[in-house]
Amino acid sequence: MTSSSKRPTALLALCACLSALLPVQAQTSTPPATDPVSPSVEPKSDTGPAEKAQNLPPVVVTGNPLRNTLQDAWATRLGGDELAARRGNSLAATLDGLPGVAASAFGPQASRPILRGLDGDRLRILANGGSAFDAASLSPDHAVALDPLVIESVEILRGPAALLYGGNALGGVINSLDNRVPKEARGGHSGAVETRWGGAASQRQVAGVWDFAPERGQSGWAWHADASRRLSENQRSPLFVAEGESAREVRNSAGSQRAAAVGAGWVGPAGFAGLSLDDFHAGYGVTAEPDVRIAMQRQRLGHEGEWRIAEGWLQALRWQAARTRYAHDEIEGSGEVGTHFALRGSDARLELTHRPMAGLSGAFGAQWESQAFEALGDEAFVPSTRTRQQGLFVFEQWQQGAWTLGAGARKERVQQSSAGDAPDAEEPRFGAAQSRRFAPRSLALQGRWQAAPGWSLQAQWSDSQRAPTHYELFANGLHLATAAFERGDPHLGLERAKGQELALVYAQGGSSFQFNLHRQRFANYLLLRATGEEVEAEHHHGEEGGAEEVEAHVPVYAFEGVPARLWGYEVQASHRWTLGGWAWQLTGSLDRVRGERAGGEPLPRLAPQRLSLGLQLRQGDWTLRVDARHAKAQTRVAADDRATPGYRWLDVSLSQGFKLGGLDGLWELKLQNLGNALAYNASTLATVRDLAPLPGRNAQLRLGLIF
């Protein structure tokens, strides 16, 4: 075993030792009342299915090591009422439509978030701050292995704080948060149950969460359990034409999902430490292929802890470690497994925060990751690989009067190794085993000037580097999802990007406003470029009871590094007032992102300009909400793509809170796409876009109880 592979094991042992010491510390140490690292997890009653109308207190961003309140332009947190109303069948569907956020949407079941035009390995998707290992970045038809039904909140981070979680987070970090490892004494039993019916895919889903913890301010054991189940049919859409035939539903788009998790830990005024185990299964059709489906599973054993240090320079020590096992099979109509993907991943991190010194407060730490990936079968287009990554990071912040300055830096070592062709390979195409080493480094600066009460002017600058992924280096085969023969380049260098952003932020009383202007320049943007070649490829598929071999000429695409730039803006505003006994809230957002290679050719699959307006009325237990969205046509497309028409979308929802015995409840009726608009997602891969329009007019009923 190499020394680098021993490090996660050694860190796991260190975490166990820290956990063993924590109960004693929890009984003997109490932090000051003003300690900014006190627990910030929202109560379950604010994040479950029966949220009540209320003005929420300032939101604390847990992904920021200083646990700052949400006052800067580089962090977004979605939770409470808004998360419950937006919750979709995937993380990407839940976040899609937020300013600067889009979804890849390879059919209704497989979708991955896109931040300001950047996706794949250019953004980090985390679960409670740890790596969410899966194969979603490898191919657009691979779903993200996270259960959105039990997430309590989601954070989107950019800027210096994002460097704490990975140098490859050029687009940002998406951190999903739950309470699977209990983190605070919430006081006795609590829980929630939610069920939903309907929608364009006739969904039936149910989710339940249960927590037990000591009374607030006390120390003791805390427990957690959650489970969810979802079934859906083929998605219905307005009449559309695909492959020369008319249709009213998206073919092969039905799916199912089930998940369960348990967790336990010791919580107290001085911190927490605990373990969690979760099991996730999903099955769904691959829309691009009428007879192919994916069966996915993921198991994760996680450990988290935090020790709040009462005295001295160090303020808190946080640690985290996890082991993940992921696998999925791509199953042909005949029942034969065409390709088997398997991944074993381990990650661990230590983070220390310190008290202010010479005006500086901040955090520093280390992170390790190891991933073993294999793809087996005639249609595997990447070899078995191993990825090892170690990183050191630091984040510091200085505040004086109206000025706040921050800086973050990260240094990594990354090794990508290919096993090459198997000794018994019938058609060798990956060559001999080989390995590449990289040493990316990233730096980010930010500043904020509190110009007047409620108003701030903010800016940030970044210089980031990303190591190529295993598929960008070693791919060589037919990729069915993209209908192309993809070739990696083992000689690729680091992807480099320099970014600048300006923001104007206002928040006071019931009103808020934010304007962001951003730009990134890439010296070596890694993308697939058409070579002009074609190869003859064989594909085995068939219906139940038989299979056939299909030969076709497919284009060759190769990974290359090219100069490129991305730029855009985001505007969002909100205003609350009371009129006629009703509480009113008007919201709006406008965003746009553009990107092009050197020479002016547009980058592929960028979202068009989008305008959203929302009006919400509340009186007592009743809430009425109307949301309208307009997406312009996307005509700036890559040479191998085509324009996507614009659309207008209208949603209306009505909900009522109620009491059932001693329980709080809520029902909601939501009508989506009232105009039954035929709409397409410009960020969807061209090979599947015409096959998978967005949902048609539909109704969904939600019922939730909190205890």
Q: 92-123, pLDDT tens digit by residue?
A: 999 999 999 999 988 889 999 999 999 989 99
Q: Is the pLDDT of residue 518 over 70?
A: yes
Between residues 87 and 573, the one the model is more confident about? 573
Between residues 60 and 281, the one the model is more confident about? 281
Percent of the chain with pLDDT strictly greater than 90: 69
Per-residue pLDDT band for 52 (boundaries 50, 70, 90) equals: very low
Per-residue pLDDT band for 62 (boundaries 50, 70, 90) equals: low
For residue 142, the Cα-to-chain-centroid distance in whole angstroms is: 14
**What is the Cβ-side half-sphere exposure of residue 293, based on CA atoms within 13 angstroms?**
17
The answer to whether the CB of 375 falls within 8 A of the CB of 421 is: no
Boundaries of domain holding 508: 3-706
Q: What is the pLDDT of residue 81?
A: 83
Average pLDDT over residues 55-78: 64
Q: What is the pLDDT of residue 539?
A: 62
Top mean pLDDT of 62-66, 375-379, 608-612 is at: 608-612
pLDDT tens-place string over residues 122-134: 999 999 988 888 9
Q: Is the pLDDT of residue 349 over 80?
A: yes
Q: Return the structure tokens found at 152.
A: 């309590």
Q: Is the pLDDT of residue 53 over 70?
A: no
Q: What is the pLDDT of residue 71?
A: 53
Q: What is the pLDDT of residue 549?
A: 61
Prediction pTM value: 0.88
CATH number at 189 reads: 2.40.170.20
pLDDT tens-place string over residues 174-207: 999 999 999 999 888 999 999 999 999 999 999 9
Per DSSP, what are the bridge partners of residue 153? 79, 177
Per-residue pLDDT band for 73 (boundaries 50, 70, 90) equals: confident
Report the number of distinct structural domains present in the chain: 1
Q: What is the pLDDT of residue 43?
A: 34
- Identify how many contiguous H helices and E strands the chain contains and give both numbers: 6, 34
The answer to whether the CB of 608 falls within 8 A of the CB of 633 is: yes
Q: What is the pLDDT of residue 66?
A: 66
Average pLDDT over residues 465-488: 91
Per DSSP, what are the bridge partners of residue 155? 77, 175
Could you give the angle at the alpha carbon of 329 between the alpha carbons of 130 and 276, nearest 5°?
A: 30
Per-residue pLDDT band for 333 (boundaries 50, 70, 90) equals: confident
Q: What is the pLDDT of residue 542?
A: 52
- CA dist 560 and 510 (Å) reads 49
Per-residue pLDDT band for 48 (boundaries 50, 70, 90) equals: very low
